[in-house]
């Protein structure tokens, strides 16, 4: 059994940025676990592009040195917008090597708490006792598979996060369900891989980003107007973007206002650069699936307009539903002690849960601090807020 002041679970953008900031606190012992950028590498498709803009794609660094600009310069390879996923993964790993060369890649099997603090058990059985634990485990555990597809095996229907390489679908008929970026980009990549995709969208229109109004505001009104209307964090439309960039302010708004602003800021939408790539892909708007039945090694799908098709596979671009009790590494007693609302932990300042000393970063923090926390650009806020909280001391365990 070893000890540490803080254990950080996760080496994605949130865990990396948090550890890098915590290292600024003199004498604080921090141990961080996880495979760097594993979600980006193992649950997002090859050939994907990031939707966030340049400033919003920077992982927070307290010294402002581990930037995309310096990554480019050091690696001698020009980066362009939209940023391709493989380059972003390289950037994240470069960040990790510079800031956390001592990262421990072992998996955490269990986190429990008792009167002495937190006990973290690693996959190989080693245990660490700490005063604080910071969870930055991302959304991988929350992939949402709607119940109407429960009867289908994963060979016939799978969540978009289950696929990295689409080549195996060449020549196959595939239905992509959903009108957000994951479903639309999967359909484009499927088509480009030789598959025959069709997209089914429940709503009557697709929200394409960077439309005429947004383009005008971004490019024609000049730097000053742009910086007044849009924060560098790039979450939310003109004006609202500034509020989304300030989670401490947003936190104090009445719940119905917060919920409306969140919905407006992160509604399902597709990047404009997908429009051309989807020109040859049929998109059925205002339609939903009413039944699915296994038909040999294919699946028969009936839509609400009565039409039927038999396809080889269904891609569920149905997003993620946060529910922290699904984090398998949380001991049941600890999971039950975290106050939640609809699966989201209720967080205080410093992203601290109702269990003193237990912090949760990233998308689970959206209910308390707004949608900024589901994007890379939220690492600036969470790392600083966490570091302030831990540096201030006070009750933990």
Ligand X SMILES: Cc1cc2nc3c(=O)[nH]c(=O)nc-3n(C[C@H](O)[C@H](O)[C@H](O)COP(=O)(O)OP(=O)(O)OC[C@H]3O[C@@H](n4cnc5c(N)ncnc54)[C@H](O)[C@@H]3O)c2cc1C
Q: Which of 88, 87, 126, 91 is nearest to 110 (CA)?
A: 126
Query: Which residues inside 356-385 make contact with ligand X, applying CB under 6 A?
Result: 362, 374-377
Q: Which of 373, 2, 374 is nearest to 386 (CA)?
A: 373
Query: Which residues inside 143-172 make contact with ligand X, applying CB under 6 A?
Result: none
**CB of 20 or CB of 301, closer to ligand X:** 20
Taking the complex as a whole, the smallest distance from the CB of residue 71 to ligand X amounts, in Å, to 16
DSSP 338: S
Choose, by CB under 6 A, the member of 22, 30, 99, 108 that binds ligand X: 108
CA separation, residue 319 to residues 15, 27, 51, 157, 298 (Å): 22, 41, 16, 14, 24
Choose, by CB under 6 A, the member of 39, 94, 95, 230 that binds ligand X: 39
Identify whether 159 is preceded by a cis peptide bond (ω within 30 of 0): no
Contact 237, 359 (CB under 8 A): no
Taking the complex as a whole, the smallest distance from the CB of residue 226 to ligand X amounts, in Å, to 19
Taking the complex as a whole, the smallest distance from the CB of residue 177 to ligand X amounts, in Å, to 15
**CB of 39 or CB of 71, closer to ligand X:** 39
107 binds ligand X, rule: CB under 6 A: yes
140 binds ligand X, rule: CB under 6 A: yes
Q: What is the C-alpha to C-alpha distance for residues 330 and 364, in angstroms, rounded to an integer?
A: 14
Choose, by CB under 6 A, the member of 6, 7, 12, 32 that binds ligand X: 12
7 binds ligand X, rule: CB under 6 A: no
182 binds ligand X, rule: CB under 6 A: yes
14 binds ligand X, rule: CB under 6 A: yes
104 binds ligand X, rule: CB under 6 A: no
Q: Which of 129, 130, 132, 126 is nearest to 104 (CA)?
A: 126
21 binds ligand X, rule: CB under 6 A: no
- The residues near 354 (Cβ < 8 Å, ≥ 6 apart) are 337, 338, 339, 345, 346, 348
**CB of 51 or CB of 301, closer to ligand X:** 51
Query: Which residues inside 324-353 make contact with ligand X, applying CB under 6 A?
Result: 329
- Where residue 51 falls (left for φ over 0; alpha for ψ -120 to 50; beta otherwise) is alpha
Query: Which residues inside 62-81 make contact with ligand X, applying CB under 6 A?
Result: none
Q: Which of 184, 152, 192, 145 is nearest to 312 (CA)?
A: 152
Contact 54, 82 (CB under 8 A): no
**CB of 299 or CB of 383, closer to ligand X:** 383
318 binds ligand X, rule: CB under 6 A: no
Taking the complex as a whole, the smallest distance from the CB of residue 343 to ligand X amounts, in Å, to 16
| Span of 31-39, 218-226, 308-316, 385-393 interacting with ligand X by CB under 6 A | 31-39
Taking the complex as a whole, the smallest distance from the CB of residue 15 to ligand X amounts, in Å, to 5
H or E element that contains 129: strand 127-135
Taking the complex as a whole, the smallest distance from the CB of residue 253 to ligand X amounts, in Å, to 23
Query: Which residues inside 239-268 make contact with ligand X, applying CB under 6 A?
Result: none
**Helix, strand or coil for residue 54?**
coil
**CB of 275 or CB of 303, closer to ligand X:** 275
Identify the bridge partners of residue 8 per DSSP, sorted by sequence position. 32, 134
**Helix, strand or coil for residue 63?**
coil
Q: What are phi and psi of 366, to 5 degrees?
A: -60, -40
**Helix, strand or coil for residue 10?**
coil
State the burial class of residue 114 (Cβ atoms within 10 Å of its Cβ: 0-12, 13-18, 19+).
Answer: exposed
CA separation, residue 278 to residues 184, 197, 307 (Å): 8, 10, 22
**CB of 18 or CB of 299, closer to ligand X:** 18
Choose, by CB under 6 A, the member of 5, 25, 29, 35 that binds ligand X: 35
**CB of 184 or CB of 292, closer to ligand X:** 184
180 binds ligand X, rule: CB under 6 A: no
**CB of 283 or CB of 372, closer to ligand X:** 372
Taking the complex as a whole, the smallest distance from the CB of residue 376 to ligand X amounts, in Å, to 3
**CB of 231 or CB of 301, closer to ligand X:** 231
Question: What residue ranges bind ligand X (CB under 6 A)?
Answer: 9-15, 33-35, 38-40, 44, 50-52, 56, 107-108, 136-140, 182, 329, 362, 374-377
């Amino acid at each position: 059994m070893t000890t540490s002041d803080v254990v950080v679970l996760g080496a994605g953008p949130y865990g990396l940025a948090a550890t890098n900031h915590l290292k600024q606190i003199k004498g604080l012992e921090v141990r961080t676990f996880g495979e760097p950028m594993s979600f980006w590498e193992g649950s997002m498709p090859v050939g994907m592009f990031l939707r966030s803009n340049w400033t919003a794609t920077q992982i927070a660094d307290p010294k402002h040195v581990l930037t995309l600009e310096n990554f480019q310069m050091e690696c001698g390879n020009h980066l362009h917008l939209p940023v391709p996923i493989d380059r972003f993964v390289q950037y994240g790993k470069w960040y990790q090597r510079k800031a956390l060369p001592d990262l421990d890649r072992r998996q955490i099997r269990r986190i429990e708490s008792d009167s002495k603090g937190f006990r973290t058990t690693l996959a190989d059985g080693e245990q660490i006792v700490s005063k604080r634990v910071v969870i930055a485990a991302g959304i991988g555990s929350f992939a949402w598979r709607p119940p109407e597809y429960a009867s289908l095996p994963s060979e016939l229907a799978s969540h978009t996060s289950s696929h990295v390489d689409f080549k195996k679908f060449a020549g196959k008929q595939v239905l992509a369900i959903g009108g957000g970026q994951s479903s639309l980009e999967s359909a484009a990549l499927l088509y480009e891989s030789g598959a025959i995709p069709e997209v089914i969208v429940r709503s009557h229109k697709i929200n394409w980003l960077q439309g005429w109004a947004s383009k005008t505001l971004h490019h024609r009104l000049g730097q000053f107007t742009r910086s007044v209307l849009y924060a560098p964090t790039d979450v939310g439309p003109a004006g609202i973007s500034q509020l989304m960039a300030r989670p401490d302010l947003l936190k104090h708004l009445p719940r119905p206002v917060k919920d409306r602003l969140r919905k407006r800021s992160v509604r399902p939408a597709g990047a404009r650069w997908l429009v051309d790539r989807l020109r040859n892909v049929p998109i059925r708007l205002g339609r939903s699936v009413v039944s699915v039945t296994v038909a040999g090694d294919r699946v028969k799908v009936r839509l609400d307009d009565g039409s039927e098709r038999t396809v080889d596979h269904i891609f569920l671009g149905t997003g993620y539903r946060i529910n922290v009790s699904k984090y398998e590494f949380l001991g049941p007693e600890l999971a039950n002690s975290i106050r939640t609302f609809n699966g989201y932990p209720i967080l205080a300042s410093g992203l601290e849960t109702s269990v003193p000393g237990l912090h949760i970063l990233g998308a689970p923090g959206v209910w308390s601090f707004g949608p900024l926390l589901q994007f890379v650009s939220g690492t600036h806020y969470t790392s600083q807020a966490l570091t302030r909280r831990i540096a201030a001391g006070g009750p933990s365990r």
